[in-house]
Structure 1
Amino acid sequence: MVLVVIFMLGIGNFAVHKAVLESRHPLLGRMPWYVHMLGGRGTLVTEFLVLLAAMLLAANGWPWLGWVYAGYSALNLIGAWLILSNRV
């Protein structure tokens, strides 16, 4: 059950991440050059690696990691809301 929750949160994280990348917010222009190397896809790879690590650790006896990943997802959502609503 924890794996399903982490996976669903991961799908949400990817959707929010993609929305921020496509927003063309001025804040994205201030990011270091390596963030822009592949059109932002490098950050999506990092997002995938975080999801993969969370799922692997939860599957191998760390079920509380679901709460940690939920907190990470909540922070992602708050950050995306701030960017997409032009509050920063």
Structure 2
Amino acid sequence: MKHRDSCLDGIAGSLPTLARAAKTAQRLDNGGPDGVPFAAEPITSVEAGVRVLRLVQRAQASGVDIDQAVRDATRAWEDEIRAAEEP
């Protein structure tokens, strides 16, 4: 068994943005610290796809780099998770 200081240890930094966000969510759901925000309400794959596509369209129309915005948000969430793991 691998020793990990964080539930996030071992997530490859080279993962594409959405894959990294999904892996972070999976790790948090599979034994991460309590008290970290995690939106767990059910959604279908069609609804998820439509919502993501609409956000991409809105970001594009607003001049927002959606990939960078998601990377930044994921990093901030990871920092929050790691802080919650500290004794």
Give TM-score, length-normalised by structure 1: 0.47
- For CA contacts below 8 A with separation 6 or more, give which structure has more relative contact order: 1
